[in-house]
Each structure stands twice: as structure tokens, then as C-alpha cells.
Amino acid sequence: MEKSYRTNNIIFTTLVLLTLFTWILGQAEIVGDISGVINGKIFFLILLTIAIIKVQLIGDFFMHLNTVSGFWRWIITLWVMLTGGFIAIAFLL
Amino acid sequence: MKYESQSVAKLYFIAAIGLFVGQIVFGLVMGLQYVVGDFMFPEIPFNVARMVHTNLLIVWLLFGFMGAAYYLVPEEAETELHSPMLAKLMFWVFLVAGALTILGYLLVPYATLAEITGNHLLPTMGREFLEQPTITKIGIVIVALVFLYNIAFTILKGRKTVITLVLLIGLAGLAIFFLFSFYNPDNLVKDKFYWWFVVHLWVEGVWELIMASILAFVLIKTTGVDREIIEKWLYIIIAMALITGLIGTGHHFFWIGAPEYWLWWGSIFSALEPIPFFMMTVFAFNMVNKRRINHPNQPAVLWALGTAVMAFLGAGVWGFMHTLAPINYYTHGTQITAAHGHMAFYGAYVMIVLAIISYAMPMMRGRKACNSAASQVAEMWSFWLMTISMVFITLFLTGAGILQVWLQRFSDEPMSFMVVQDKIEVFYWMREGAGVVFLIGLLLYVYSFFIGGEERTVEEKV
Amino acid sequence: MYMQDTIKTKYPPGDLALWIFICAELLVFAIFFAAYAFTRASNIELFNQYQATLNTDLALLNTIALLSSSYFVVSAIISIKENKQKQSTLFLFLSIVGACAFLIMKMTEYTHHMSEGINLTTNLFYMFYLSLTFFHFMHVILGVMILTVLWFNTRKGLYTADNHDGLVSGGAYWHMVDLVWLILFPLIYIMR
């Protein structure tokens, strides 16, 4: 059970750090936008990847889908890949 | 039939079928008027035939819903109906009011009907499907309230089940939303908002709850599947119906002068409205596959499965085809709409009423569980005749609609309405032909009630 | 205990009916997100211009609030697996606090917008921003109601180590609400 609390803490910390990183990237992009030096598409892909990872972490460790086998294991993954995919198509193409 | 008072449903079901026949006769009149413009003019002009056709549909379905409730609630609640006397009284009130209204449509000019029924005191006439004189509408409210009181008190004094609770919510919603028909604002946009609060929230809202609960009841009875499983499905189905259907009302607010965000809200939510119908189909076939008994009433099971499929096709698929704003921009108010409307109403609501009648009538007429083999065969034939002909009606109207949209709305040099109507005439003739087959199916259905013989028995255990 | 953690189940934890409900909600949000992204593609300048008027700092705090709230729900479930009802109740209380913090901060944002006369008809970006966040807001409210019921139940001692399905189910719904925001936050506030 100690293991469970520890895992919970680690996942939570990871999620918060990823969130902070997203915010920082957002600030940097606004600054970079003005000076016109950055590649918006790279920023976008990083932000999207982080978002997908965060969603997957929630699914696996908070919703405990990592204890499930079969179709339902991948339900959140399926959703985030589809949603992320559509967003990517819209932003990049 | 476990409880004496369930028998009041028989009155309602007989009236329902009688009015159904009337509805189809007038439907055929109109179908012919599409191509022979002065058929029955001036005795029964098109607009009068239309009022009769649509109003009869709604009234007979209401008779069907009420009959279904009077039959299944005592059985589910495991107690007699609170007041069979009131149920019978309301039956006659509703039938007479309805008959007088239809006669009013047929025998006097509409403006005269408005005058003699005192419409000026509280104007509610003049809108599609809500053409009834105000006094008829008040009568409907009274009948509905007494009916709800009767059913609610029966449920309260007995066993409460998910089926009866969902049915009651649906029926209460039906009554409440009908009240919007009394509000007739001057502002045209508001007028349309409130009209749709009746029509959409009925057929894409609370009526779905009624349909789902009746379907669940018929499936429990004919398959013997665990009640808990069926209840879970019922919850999910109605949750989806409400989530998608409530904001989905917006798909009627595209072009009436409402703010632009309705194009988005209406499209997104209504696009998902097929989901509860898809679930009902999976639910119905799943239950029948996993059945614990072979029920001897085959037509009942056929109607139950059929209603799920046809509702999904007519309401779900055909509805989806024209629900997105960019498409609806071109198809709004065309024969595409008529195609969807016919199959949706038939699949979802006509068939579920026929399903419960099919299940309940034999027992209310003294049988143990079902009719004779000959009667069942005739009834199943009527199922296929009506259903297949409805599919063709829909296909023909879809063809008409596609050509109409192309010529009248989409092309670089659009043609006028009447010119286009001329060009799609062949579809109308074919539709009428299919309509005749539908009537034959319906008459066979009525005839099947008169086919006697020994009750069909089967080995019940699977 | 240890064995239970390593045996995999065929169905997700909690009520399957609720999971189907969760899937339905996820589907609606997915379509909304896709609609936003594709509409943006045809209105990039408009969207970039008005996205800059949003309060990203507050949104960051909102994300942290929701993440913390979900963290506490998981903690509550771990506690109940050890039959520690009181600790579980406390964690659930903290999760509600986090959720309420989100609601308050969001309402502050909305008040600010309203004072500037911004509404659904102002422009296409604001229409999406307000619709999406409001839709999510309503789900947070429902989530708070569910968490409150769970809190009451846990306080009454309804859940035990062997029987806490309701807690897991309610928790799953809450995580869905959190997870949706994790897409919404970068998509609407940050991605340019």
C-alpha cells in the first residue's frame, strides 16, 4: 500500500511539472512569436505530445486502467489518440 | 393477464388501430394529390388532408402510449390500476374530442372552426401539428393529467421499477412540453423556438424514454433475460437520448433568426442523436440472443427487433444525413425531410406501439400468451409488408429529395419550386404505389386479429 | 492485497454502465475539440488575436486545482482499501476543495469577460471558448455533486476495503472531467 501512495505522489508530481512546462512553453511562444524566431509547428507538437502523455497518465494511474486487460485497457488511449489526431491534422495541414 | 384492470388497455389499442387506418387513408389521398393536383378538391383540399393525416398520427400514438402504460404499469407495479373507471372515462373523452376535431377539420373551413371554437379567447391554432382548436388542446391537457394521476398513483402504491419510472418521466415530460403549445408569441423567432419545444422535445426527447421503457418491458417478457441487465441498458439509453437530444434541439434553430452559435451547438449535439437508437438496436438483439425462454408470441419479438432497427435507420441514419448545418442549408424543408420523417415516426413510434399491442392483445382477449399459428403468420406478413413498403417510401422520397436539392438549391442556375416538382413526379408515383402496399399490410394486420384457431405452443426452454 | 493488485480484470474498475456514460461524454468533447481545431484553421488570425486576451495564469492554477483534486480522489481510494474511513473522508473533502477552487477561479474569469461585454455572439473564437469552457464547467459542477455524495457516504462508513465500487465509479467520472481539461487547457489557452 505504501507503494500505492508513492506511485500516486510520483504521478501527480509528474503531471504538475508537465503542466508547468506547458505554461512556460506558452509564455515562450508568445515572446518568440513577437520576435518571429520560433517554429510554431514544433511548439505545437511538443504541447500536443505533453497533453497526450498527461491524459494517458490519468487513464493508467488515476483511473487504474493499467490493471485492466483487453479492450477496455485502451479506451482512454483510443480517445486521446483520435482527438489528438484530429487536432494535429487541423493545426498542421 | 395478471391484473383485471390491465384490460382497459384494450379500448385504447382498438382506437389506436382504428385511427391508424384513418391516418393512412388520408396519407394515400395526399400522395395522390401530389401528382393529381385537384384530386378531391374542393371537398378535401391538400392542407385539410394533411391536418387529418398528421393529427390522426399523433392522436393514435397517444392512445397507444396510454394503452401501453395501462397494460404494463399494473403488471410492473404488481397492483391493480388506481382507477379503471377514470381510464375508461378519459378514453371516451379523448376519442370524442379527437373525432369532433377531425370532423371539424373536414367539414368546416379552418377559419370558421377557429371562430366557432372561440380561438380568439386564447389563440393557439394555426401551427403545423398543433392545428387543434384551443378547447381540444385543453381537453388533451385534462386527459393527460388524469392519465398521469392514474398511472402515478398506481406506481406509488406498488412496486417501483426502473421501467415504470422511466415511462412515467417520459409521459410527464410529454404532458409538460405540450403546454408550450399554448404560448403563441408574435415574434416569429420566438414562435418557432416554442413550437420546437413541443415537437422536438417530444419526438427527440421524452417520447424516446417512452419507447425505450416499452421496449424494455416487451423484451423482459419475451426473452426472460435478467431485469437488472435490462435496467442498466435502459439507464444508459435514456442518458444518451437526453444528453444528445436536449441541446440537439438546436438543429432546428439554424435558419430561424437565432444567434449563429446554434449552428455549432445544434450540429455537434444532434450529430450524436443516433447513438441511443444504435444502443437500442444492440440492446434488443443482445437480449434476444441471450434469451432464457422461447416465447410463443413470435410477432411480438419481431416487432420489438424491427422497431429498434427501423428507428435507428429512420431517426438515426436518415436524421444524421441532414442534421449538420452545412448540409441542412441545402436540404431544409425538402423531400429529404419527408423521407426522414416518415421512416423515423414509423420505426420509432408506430412500431413500438404495434409491438406492445402484439404482445398484450392476445392475453387481453383471453389467450394465455399468444395467438394461433395462422394469426401469427398473417401478422408477421403484415410486419414485412408495412416495413418493406415504408423503406421504399423513404427511398423514393430520398430520391425525390436529392434531385430537388440539386435542381432547386445547389445548381448554378436553380429552378423554381413548381418546375422541380414536375421533374420529380415519377418518385411521387412510386411513393404512392409503396403507400398502397403499406395500406394492404395494415389491413392484413387488422385482419390478423380476426383469425382464430388454437393458441400456438412451443417448447419454452431454450 | 498484493495478489489483487497484480491480477488484471477484463472490465474497467467500477460500474460498467458509468464507463459507457464516460465514453459518451468523451465523444461529445472530442467532437467539440475537433470542431474548434478545424474552425481555427480557417480563422487563424482571429483565434490568435483573441486567444491572447485569455488569462493563461489563472488557467494554469485551474489545471493544478483539478490535478490536485484527482490526486486526492486516488488517495481516498487507497485509504479505503486499507479500511481507513476517516482518512478517506478527509481526502475526499480535499478533492472537493480543489474542485471548488476551480469553480471560483473560472467564475472570476467569466465575470471579467462579462464586464467587458463578451458573450457567445461576440466572435467565433469567444463562441468556442465560452461554449467549451462552460460545457466543461457544468461537468465540474456535476462532479462536485458526485464527490459530495461520495464524501457523505464515506463519512457514514458505507465503503469498506471489500466494497467500495461506488467510490471507484464516482472517482472515474471525476478523472474524466480532469482529463478533458488537460486537453482543453493547452488547446484553447496555449496552442497558437
Sign of the CA dihedral running B129, B130, B136, B140 = positive
Residue B374 lies in a domain: no
Structure confidence at residue A36 (pLDDT): 61
Whether A1 has a pLDDT exceeding 80, the answer reads: no
B interface with C, Cβ–Cβ below 8 Å: 232, 235-236, 239-240, 243-244, 259-261, 264-265, 268-269, 271-272, 275
CA distance B185 to B191: 5
Number of structural domains (chain C) is: 1
In angstroms, the CA C179 to CA C121 distance is 28
C182 and A51 Cβ atoms separated by less than 8 Å: yes
User: In the predicted model, is pLDDT for residue A33 greater than 80?
Assistant: no
Task: Determine, for residues C30 and A79 on separate chains, whether the beta-carbon distance falls below 8 Å.
Answer: yes
User: Hey, which residues does B127 pair with through a beta bridge?
Assistant: B130
Confidence bin at B17 (pLDDT 50/70/90): very high
Confidence of residue C15 (pLDDT cuts 50, 70, 90): confident
Residue C114 lies in a domain: yes
List the single best residue of C179, C188, C189 to mutate versus A (max A Cβ within 10 A): C179
Mean pLDDT of chain C: 94
pLDDT at C85 over 60: yes
Provide mean pLDDT across the span C75-102.
96
On the question of pLDDT at A37 being above 70, the answer is: no
- With cut-offs at 50, 70 and 90, classify the pLDDT of residue C1: very low
Rg (Cα) of chain A, in Å, rounded? 16
User: What is the C-alpha to C-alpha distance for residues B293 and C151, in angstroms, rounded to an integer?
Assistant: 43
B262 and B254 Cβ atoms separated by less than 8 Å: yes
Q: Under a CB-based contact definition with an 8 Å cutoff, are residues B309 and B350 in contact? A: no
Q: Which of A1, A15, A86 lies closest to C37 in CB terms? A: A86
- The answer to whether the Cβ–Cβ distance between C67 and A20 falls below 8 Å is no
- Nine cell digits for residue C48: 490568435
Q: For chain A, how many structural domains are there in total?
A: 1
Residue C1 covered by a domain: no
- CATH number at C128 reads 1.20.120.80
**How far is the alpha carbon of A49 from chain C, nearest alpha carbon, in Å?**
11
Q: Which domain holds residue B71?
A: 1-157
Nearest by CB: C182 against A25, A55, A63: A55
Confidence of residue A3 (pLDDT cuts 50, 70, 90): confident
Model confidence, pTM: 0.93
Contact in structure between B380 and B456 (CB atoms under 8 Å): no
Task: Report whether pLDDT(C9) > 90.
Answer: no
Q: Average pLDDT, stretch B207-227?
A: 96
In a domain, C28, yes or no: no
In a domain, B162, yes or no: no
Looking at residue B76, its pLDDT comes to: 97
- Domains in chain B, number: 1
In a domain, B353, yes or no: no
What does the alpha-carbon distance between residue A42 and residue A38 come to, in Å, rounded to a whole number? 8
C139 contacts on B by Cβ (under 8 Å): none
Domain membership flag for residue B126:
yes
Q: How many Å lie between the alpha carbon of C32 and the closest alpha carbon of chain B? A: 7
CA A64, A69, A72, A77 torsion: positive or negative? positive
Residue B251, pLDDT score:
98
How high is the pLDDT of residue A35?
58
DSSP B264-303: HHHHHHHHTTHHHHHHHHHHHHHHHHT-SB--S-HHHHHH
C31–B259: do the CB atoms touch at under 8 Å? no
**Which positions ≥6 away from B242 have C-beta within 8 Å?**
B205
CA pair distance B170, B129, nearest whole angstrom: 20
Contact B458, B294 (CB under 8 A): yes
CB atoms within 10 A of CB B130: 20
Question: Angle at CA A23, nearest 5°, toward A17 and A29?
Answer: 135
At B49-68, the pLDDT tens digits run 999 999 999 999 999 999 99
CATH number assigned to the domain comprising residue B61: 1.20.120
Chain C residue at shortest CA distance from B265: C131
Give the Cα separation of A35 and B367 in Å (integer): 86
Can you give the residue range of the structural domain that contains A64?
A: 2-92
C178 contacts on A by Cβ (under 8 Å): 58, 62
Q: Distance between CA C104 and CA A46 in Å, rounded?
A: 30
Mean pLDDT, range B309-331, rounded to an integer:
98
B5: number of CA atoms within 13 Å, CB side?
Answer: 22
CA distance C9 to C6: 10
CA distance B41 to B44: 6
What confidence category does residue A34 fall into, taking pLDDT thresholds of 50, 70 and 90?
Answer: low
- C42 in a domain, yes or no? no
C37, C175, C182 ranked by CB distance to A63: nearest: C175
C43 falls within a domain:
no
Q: What is the structure's pLDDT at C5? A: 54
Mapping DSSP to helix (H, G, I), strand (E, B) and coil, where does residue A16 land?
Answer: helix
Confidence of residue B159 (pLDDT cuts 50, 70, 90): very high
Asked whether the beta carbons of B88 and B11 are under 8 A apart, the reply is yes
Interatomic CA distance for residues C125 and B178, integer angstroms: 37
Provide the pLDDT for residue C6: 61
Mean pLDDT, range B37-44, rounded to an integer: 95
Percent of chain B with pLDDT over 70: 100
**Model ipTM?**
0.92
Residue C35: list chain B partners with CB under 8 A: 264, 268
Per the structure, the complete domain to which residue C64 belongs is given by 55-190
Smallest Cα distance from B257 to chain C, Å = 13
In a domain, C70, yes or no: yes
Instruction: Quote the pLDDT of residue C2.
Output: 46
pLDDT at res. B409: 96
Task: Decide: B73 and B153 in contact? Cβ < 8 Å.
Answer: no
Percentage with pLDDT > 90 across chain C = 90
